[in-house]
């Protein structure tokens, strides 16, 4: 998420709560409660509530028969308990009921809240629900498991929004815009080509990264026929699924069970699920669930008492405080255990502190060693959190089990994100070769990379290639097709597709973990809209007819993914391996990069792989040693098994294309 996204969200609810002075010291003195029974548990003895609210003067639970528009059936006073918590109990298992909390603060009862730990909610998430989670599990759930992964860089990540993926009529999917879209097998576009889950399998991606799927604020779940669209970077209930992605948001169990069915079906098809999580800010300020349970505590403030705003959204959370840190850790643990989530992408991760992120990683690895974590290693504004404590890209070496997005390779390949017309290496702009090389070695130390010439980063910030996510586009900013149209205004789409192939060949062959944006593989666009966070489906939905029109483009992506997956040389796991096995050639012409992966790198069956990128619009001659080379990619074509052969010597690299050669021995 970027600033431009959030500015608009600020308007939703951005009241200023002025404290006389910075209350950090007061919050640090609060007791914290580490138990896993926060807010609601149901057992054989009945229904139990435990709300953390250290400064409340009183607290109560209010019971309702439905999730919306009904009068309370009961109000239960809570009593003070240990470590800042308040408790209430009833001897019955109140399955089917809904509840809210209210606390008394400075003599006044605050507005009702479902709490911060509501795991099931009704329409628009204003009331928490009491459900039996056992009943939400799909058949075979206890044996359900995501794909095994030795290292994060064995993954090929596909970033998607539920509506983008299935909403267009051409998807052939019944449950459009829903979790269930990813449970429908053998869906097809009008030309009979696979869409949905079979498309993902055919393409060969290993993981889908789903945009925020917890309950967010902006889409009115009581009015789904309005077909509102939002990316979902406006968190409301962190631990319950978003209602508009279920077929019945009013039924809390349906929301849960449909999301689980989605995960199960993806897993059954060998595909993992990564959740986009946004713990860095909340949609509302004084009215957020955090503020209504423990006013002030969960947020950072400026010296004048106003909310600090590193998210650009009107507030930022305070991960360095124990109860907030525990909240983040326990929340991701919950998604990993209850929903079998395989990975987490942290939005604006640098708003969180390094210690919290390391504890997140440790807690998740304990549940499943294959779970991986990556995030945006930046903030969208300044923060009171000292720079050296922030989970920044530049600090990633201090977070061994966490990866960050490489804005280095992103901007170097296609041009800077702030300037639509700006070109990059793959569209013929000279001078970016060294920054692309930083991407190729995954920002690890390498004797042949001059970091002082890097455009974004000036030092090798990653300790290992497993700490880097490589990409050229994502949901933010102009996606690749639109960026190419704006920066190559006089070119044809065929020429732009050629540039897209080169761009993605750099991403998929570089060390680190590749990440693509849904629909790039069929050259989708978003009609030039760079911040489509609430644009209609007409902008955001992927037109699956393009799968037919751009079949060659699709096949290139598919073959490129196959190449990466079948060759561990592209997936080295340590900086030392890269230093030893990846050697750049001395080339002086602008727009040219040439390197070799040597000596069966990382156990690769190929003795040597020669990778040459020509971003210019002229042919280039490169000298390659003589041998029986297999030509893998040439002049905009690719075949993981080989397009033909070459004897080496002086070889020609066609304009704006990759030449990949392989020696078997």
Compute the least distance from the CB of residue 215 to Ca ion, in Å: 4
Compute the least distance from the CB of residue 241 to Ca ion, in Å: 9
Site string for Ca ion, 534-573 (x = CB under 5 A): ----------------------------------------
C-alpha to C-alpha distances, 579 to 10, 399, 541, 597, 643, nearest whole angstrom: 46, 21, 43, 10, 29
Taking contact as CB under 5 A, which single stretch among the options 97-105, 210-218, 579-587, 614-622 is the one that binds Ca ion? Answer: 210-218
Three-state SS at 493 = helix
Are 503 and 426 spatial neighbours (Cβ–Cβ below 8 Å)? yes
Taking contact as CB under 5 A, which single stretch among the options 207-215, 279-287, 294-302, 347-355 is the one that binds Ca ion? Answer: 207-215
Nearer Cβ to Ca ion (220/493): 220
Compute the least distance from the CB of residue 140 to Ca ion, in Å: 29
Compute the least distance from the CB of residue 124 to Ca ion, in Å: 6
Are 412 and 443 spatial neighbours (Cβ–Cβ below 8 Å)? no
Torsion, Cα 342 346 347 353, to 10 degrees, reads 170
**Cα torsion 175, 181, 186, 189: sign:** positive
Taking contact as CB under 5 A, which single stretch among the options 15-23, 211-219, 443-451, 490-498 is the one that binds Ca ion? Answer: 211-219
Cα 251 from Cα 434, distance rounded (Å): 54
Compute the least distance from the CB of residue 474 to Ca ion, in Å: 23
Contact set for Ca ion, span 222-281 (CB under 5 A): 243
Nearer Cβ to Ca ion (246/470): 246
Residue nearest to Ca ion (CB): 215
Consecutive H or E run containing 336: helix 322-339
**Which sequence positions are flagged as catalytic?**
347, 376
Burial, 490: exposed, middle or buried (Cβ in 10 Å; 0-12, 13-18, 19+)? exposed
Nearer Cβ to Ca ion (228/358): 228
Nearer Cβ to Ca ion (248/579): 248
Taking contact as CB under 5 A, which single stretch among the options 150-158, 214-222, 297-305, 376-384 is the one that binds Ca ion? Answer: 214-222
Nearer Cβ to Ca ion (215/477): 215
Compute the least distance from the CB of residue 537 to Ca ion, in Å: 18
Is 376 a binder of Ca ion (CB under 5 A)?
no
CA 330 to chain centre: 19
Taking contact as CB under 5 A, which single stretch among the options 21-29, 209-217, 470-478, 650-658 is the one that binds Ca ion? Answer: 209-217
Six token digits for residue 418 = 């702030």
Among 215, 234, 251, 433, binds Ca ion (CB under 5 A): 215
Burial, 665: exposed, middle or buried (Cβ in 10 Å; 0-12, 13-18, 19+)? exposed
Six token digits for residue 520 = 């790039």
**Cα torsion 393, 396, 401, 406: sign:** positive
Nearer Cβ to Ca ion (223/652): 223
CA 422 to chain centre: 26
Nearer Cβ to Ca ion (112/215): 215
Cα 243 from Cα 124, distance rounded (Å): 7
Please give the size of the binding site for Ca ion, defined by CB under 5 A. 2
Burial, 20: exposed, middle or buried (Cβ in 10 Å; 0-12, 13-18, 19+)? exposed
Compute the least distance from the CB of residue 219 to Ca ion, in Å: 6
Residues that bind Ca ion (CB under 5 A): 215, 243
């Amino acid at each position: 998420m970027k600033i431009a996204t959030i500015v608009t969200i600020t308007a939703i609810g951005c009241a200023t709560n002025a404290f006389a002075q910075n209350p950090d010291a007061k919050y640090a003195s609060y007791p914290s409660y580490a138990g896993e029974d926060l807010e609601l548990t149901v057992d054989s003895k009945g229904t139990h509530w435990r709300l953390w609210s250290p400064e409340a003067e009183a607290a109560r639970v209010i019971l309702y028969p439905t999730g919306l528009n009904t009068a309370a059936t009961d109000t239960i006073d809570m009593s003070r308990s240990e470590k800042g918590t308040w408790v209430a109990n009833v001897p019955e298992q109140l399955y089917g009921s809904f509840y809210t909390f209210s606390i008394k603060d400075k003599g006044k009862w605050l507005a009702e809240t479902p709490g911060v730990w509501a795991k099931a909610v009704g329409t628009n998430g204003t009331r928490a629900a009491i459900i039996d989670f056992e009943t939400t599990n799909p058949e075979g759930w206890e044996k359900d498991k995501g794909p095994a992964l030795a290292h994060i860089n064995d993954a090929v990540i596909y970033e998607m929004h539920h509506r983008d993926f299935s909403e267009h009529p051409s998807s052939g999917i019944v449950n459009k815009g829903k979790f269930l879209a990813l449970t429908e097998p053998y869906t097809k576009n009008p030309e009979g080509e696979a869409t949905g889950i079979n498309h993902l399998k055919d393409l060969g991606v290993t993981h889908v990264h789903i945009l925020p799927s917890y309950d967010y604020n902006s889409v009115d779940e009581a009015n789904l026929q309005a077909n509102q669209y939002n990316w979902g970077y406006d968190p409301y209930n962190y631990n319950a699924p978003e209602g508009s992605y279920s077929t019945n948001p009013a039924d809390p169990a349906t929301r849960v069970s449909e999301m689980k069915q989605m995960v199960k079906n993806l897993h059954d098809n060998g595909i993992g699920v990564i959740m986009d999580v946004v713990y860095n800010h909340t949609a509302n300020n004084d009215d957020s669930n955090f503020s209504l349970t423990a006013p002030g505590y969960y947020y950072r403030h400026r010296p004048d008492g106003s909310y600090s705003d590193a998210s650009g959204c009107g507030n930022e959370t305070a991960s360095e405080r124990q109860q907030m840190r525990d909240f983040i850790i326990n929340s991701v643990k919950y998604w990993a255990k209850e929903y079998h989530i395989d990975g987490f992408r942290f939005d604006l991760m640098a708003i969180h502190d390094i210690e919290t992120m390391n504890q997140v990683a440790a807690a998740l690895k304990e549940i499943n060693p294959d779970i991986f974590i990556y995030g945006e290693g930046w903030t969208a504004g300044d923060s009171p959190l000292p720079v050296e404590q922030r989970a920044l890209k530049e600090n990633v070496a201090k977070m061994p089990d966490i990866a960050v997005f490489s804005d280095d390779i992103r901007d170097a390949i296609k041009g800077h994100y702030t300037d639509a017309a700006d070109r990059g290496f793959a569209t013929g702009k000279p001078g970016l070769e060294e920054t692309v090389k930083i991407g190729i070695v995954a920002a690890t130390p390498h004797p042949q990379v001059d970091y002082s010439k890097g455009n974004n980063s000036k030092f090798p910030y990653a300790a290992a290639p497993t700490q880097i996510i490589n990409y050229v586009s994502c949901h933010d900013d102009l996606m690749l097709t639109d960026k190419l149209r704006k920066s190559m205004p006089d070119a044809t789409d065929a020429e732009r597709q050629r540039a897209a192939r080169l761009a993605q060949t750099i991403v998929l062959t570089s060390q680190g973990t590749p990440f693509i944006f849904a629909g790039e593989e069929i050259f989708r666009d978003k009609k030039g809209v760079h911040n489509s966070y609430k644009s209609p489906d007409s902008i955001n939905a992927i037109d699956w007819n393009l799968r037919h029109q751009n079949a060659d483009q699709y096949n290139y992506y598919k073959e490129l993914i196959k190449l990466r997956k079948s060759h561990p040389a592209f997936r080295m796991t340590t900086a030392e391996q890269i230093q030893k096995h990846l050697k750049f050639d001395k080339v002086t012409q602008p727009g040219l990069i040439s390197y070799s992966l040597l000596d069966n790198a990382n156990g690769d069956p190929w003795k040597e792989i020669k990778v040459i990128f020509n971003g210019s619009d002229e042919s280039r001659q490169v000298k390659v040693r003589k041998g029986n080379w297999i030509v893998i990619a040439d002049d905009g074509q690719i075949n993981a098994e080989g397009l033909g052969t070459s004897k080496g010597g002086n070889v020609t690299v066609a304009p704006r294309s990759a030449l990949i050669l392989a020696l078997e021995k």
